[in-house]
Amino acid sequence: MDWDDVEEILFDGTKETIKNLKCVNEGCSGNIEYEFNSKFNSFVVKCQKCGHYSKSNGVFYIPSCVKIFGDKFMISRQ
């Protein structure tokens, strides 16, 4: 699995598949946090442990994770 797969799950996944996500960087497995901004159509995904950060602009539909958990959420698998 890579970051493209993580973003695909955030955009189109089910509640369970989203809740099971973790950082995919080797040796990390940290919690993933996302933030959706509908005003600017932007979507940010980051890992709190290793600092991975990606931003998508021009998001044309509301991701599944936003519909399920809201505009900003940290996926914590505790």
- What is the tens place of the pLDDT at every residue in 1-59? 999 999 999 999 999 999 999 999 999 999 999 999 999 999 999 999 999 999 999 98
Q: Rounded distance, CA 13 to CA 8, Å?
A: 7
Give every CB contact of residue 14 below 8 A, 6+ residues apart in sequence. Answer: 64
pLDDT value at 76 more than 90:
no
Q: What type of residue is 47?
A: C
Tell me which residue range forms the domain holding 12.
Answer: 3-75
Find where tokens 């539909």 sit. 61
pTM above 0.85, yes or no: yes
Q: How many domains in the chain?
A: 1
